[in-house]
Amino acid sequence: MTQTMRVALVGLGNVGRAFLELMTIKRRVLRERYGLELVLTGAADSSGAAFGAGHIDHANLLRHKRAGHGVGQYPRLGHRGMPAAEMVRQVEADVLLEASPVNLRTGQPGLDCVRIALQRGMSVVLANKGPLVVAYRELMDMAAPTLPSPVLTGNGGGWLKAGWGSQRLRFSATVCGALPVLNMGQRDLVACDIQRVEGILNSTTNYILSAMEAGHSFDQALREAQAEGVAEADPALDIQGWDAANKLVIIANAVLGVPATLKDVDVLGIQDITPDDLAAARARGQRVKLVAVAHRQNDTYRFSVHPAALPLDHPLASVSGWEMGIVWHTDIMGVQFARVDERGPIPTAAAMLRDLVNLYA
Amino acid sequence: MTQTMRVALVGLGNVGRAFLELMTIKRRVLRERYGLELVLTGAADSSGAAFGAGHIDHANLLRHKRAGHGVGQYPRLGHRGMPAAEMVRQVEADVLLEASPVNLRTGQPGLDCVRIALQRGMSVVLANKGPLVVAYRELMDMAAPTLPSPVLTGNGGGWLKAGWGSQRLRFSATVCGALPVLNMGQRDLVACDIQRVEGILNSTTNYILSAMEAGHSFDQALREAQAEGVAEADPALDIQGWDAANKLVIIANAVLGVPATLKDVDVLGIQDITPDDLAAARARGQRVKLVAVAHRQNDTYRFSVHPAALPLDHPLASVSGWEMGIVWHTDIMGVQFARVDERGPIPTAAAMLRDLVNLYA
């Protein structure tokens, strides 16, 4: 027997379209391994929304988008100009998948979509960091299960609600795509005192630094990164360190139990790094990386995103090109390092699929 | 409000004693973050068992063991010569923690303890690989939830029952201790086609190879490893590759969905590796490691544990000394590499604690 899960997708950029692709490629695996059948009942992009009687043929919607048409123009079910939030208010779906562009100031339009979905009792899977960075605590409180659960009766303040167990708001795709950074932090480093976290959390800047080391100019490297389809729509978010800072804020809230916001992160991007800086570091036996750090001091953490010259035997010095990586320094689980080599938007879409399956597993 | 969890511990070697230590060190964190209070209601080692009215003072039992006394001699609650399985049959506990020595032929005495605990409705957390290697499928079937659950109604054969969701048999400590190898494979690489897994899964042999590279003799390096307290009681299990093969069998069953046994693994240990071999590899720009490999060919996998000369830019070439590591080659989640630097038995005990918390989270 197979369970049918109705999903609504907001945002049909690279990640959203990759998710539609996975719905086709992984259909059989989802049914055979997990007993799940995904059905797309709603979609929205900046042109409007599509939903209505029956479901949307996801392969057909993908062709429609690839042909350059907006969701609002989708035959029969399209509603031109309808805001995504309105679709979320009306659609019949079990899970909202939110993959619209990051907005660091307001979290919109994703934030309202998430609020409405949670209010309506839906589960939510996010690839978009904006709503979390702007309103982490509010969304976690909304997503907390209403049924009493053994662990949720604990007196742990933010910890338990930030947990993974019965949580219906999932966002493992927001930090390093397919690398399970948040899952490791929340579900695996249980009961640890995490003294320090160091990460290369943004692959665009890491690619640019590696390409500059190999002799490319900054602008040339940036264009290559944008062609790969993982750079943020606004390149300043990557280059100036804000994307890495967003991810650090999510780690702080979700793993370290600290209600940090972007204001708490000391941020410096790679915009002023020159090929000469990289060559000079190399001559000293070092490699320049954009490193996000959470360092515990007494009862709190200091957060920063800075270019840093790392010795070559530092784990993060081995994270090159499109790779990302993270180092956890713990008291009882040693030092753990995880690295991913992932290209394009498929791995991030795959992380959304992971969250979707894990909602019911 | 705090939930009390009653645990019974079988095996009071290095890992079992480390678990008792964590019960003291992490008592406050468990209460505050997870709302959990652990109470030891039973214990057993080769000398006998202890249980009875009330609970066992875990700190006191640790002192008792460190003073060289067996559990059977524990004041008031001790039962000299009582087999562990008998304690498991009689004790009032919610969870069995099994950390007795590995027995590859029979899985005993751990296997019977696990069977009895599952039959009695208890949950089980294993550090001991023996029961899984000998009877993986039997134990998973016993541990399957009896209540209908959406994903468990799927037609996925072995996959769903091998999952993580409502599973009451947990064993993340059995593969690489605190490094969440199994959790990554089961819960994070969702819907992936895993084409190849390569791991350095045994830290004792990895330490020995690194020490030999640094000029120590084989015997000297082995003695150092044994002093650290993570070598298997029977050193042949480590040296001849069987410990790594055990872990590969567990990965095969739990992650790859293949009902492999030790017979399916082509095993060669490091017993014949000489300092000259290491020096020759080094001269070729390579490093010798004991590598466990699962390689997919058509619809199945080939499994091996062999010494291999790796190029220095292979991720596993960076895994040195006490470290362990794993590389997952996937279709939709890129290539993921995880490495841990962990010393002594605390991280393995911490992995048992992780499983315990995750049973209820």
B247 flagged as catalytic = yes
Do B361 and A187 count as a contact with CB atoms less than 8 A apart?
Answer: yes
Omega within 30 of 0 (cis) for the link into B109: yes
pLDDT of residue A226: 84
Cβ distance A142 to A134 under 8 Å? Answer: no
For residue B146, what pLDDT is reported?
A: 53
Tell whether the model's pLDDT for residue A106 goes beyond 80.
yes
Q: What chain B residue is nearest to A353 in terms of C-alpha separation?
A: B190
The better pLDDT of the pair B229, B350 is held by B350
Nearest Cα of chain B lies from the Cα of A75 at a distance, in angstroms, of 31
Digit-coded pLDDT (tens) for B190-205: 999 999 999 999 999 9
pLDDT tens readout for residues A67-96: 999 999 999 999 999 999 999 999 999 999
Q: pLDDT confidence of B234, banded at 50, 70, 90? A: confident
Question: Which backbone phi and psi does A318 adopt, to 5 degrees?
Answer: -85, -5
Quick check: B183 and A178 CB within 8 A? no
CB pairs under 8 A between A and B: 225
Residue A147, pLDDT > 60, answer no
CB atoms < 10 A from the CB of A272, how many? 9
Average pLDDT, stretch B244-271?
A: 97
Question: How much is the pLDDT for A69?
Answer: 97
What ipTM was predicted for this assembly? 0.94
> Taking 70 as the threshold, does the pLDDT of residue B151 lie above it?
no
Mean pLDDT, chain B, whole residue set: 92
Residues A84 and A113: beta-carbon distance below 8 Å: yes
CB contact under 8 A, B192 and A350: yes
Q: What's residue B272's pLDDT?
A: 94
Query: pLDDT digit string (tens) for B289-335?
Result: 999 999 999 889 999 999 999 999 999 999 999 999 999 999 999 99
What is the pLDDT, as a whole number, of residue B164? 46
Q: Which of A22, A25, A34 sits opposite B156 (nearest CB)?
A: A34
pLDDT category, B162, cuts 50, 70, 90? very low
Please report the pLDDT score of residue A159 as a whole number: 33
Is residue B143 within 8 Å of B120, Cβ to Cβ? no
Contact A338 B343 (CB under 8 A): no
A154: closest chain B residue by CA: B35
Chain B hits for A152, Cβ within 8 Å: 35
Q: What is the average pLDDT across B60-79?
A: 97
Q: Which residues of B touch A2 (CB under 8 A)?
A: 153-155
Residues of chain A contacting residue B2, judged by C-beta atoms under 8 Å apart: 153-155
Chain-chain contact of B361 with A22 (C-beta, under 8 angstroms): no
Say if A94 is an interface residue toward chain B (CB within 8 Å).
Answer: no
Q: What pLDDT score does A146 carry?
A: 53
Chain B contacts in chain A segment 240-259 (CB below 8 A): 257
pLDDT tens, residue by residue, A263-288: 999 999 999 999 999 999 999 999 99
Q: What is the mean pLDDT of residues B237-256?
A: 96
Evaluate if residue A311 carries a pLDDT over 90: yes
Say which of B30, B155, B189 has its CB closest to residue A35: B155
The predicted structure's pLDDT at residue A66 = 96
Per-residue confidence at A230, pLDDT binned at 50, 70, 90?
A: low
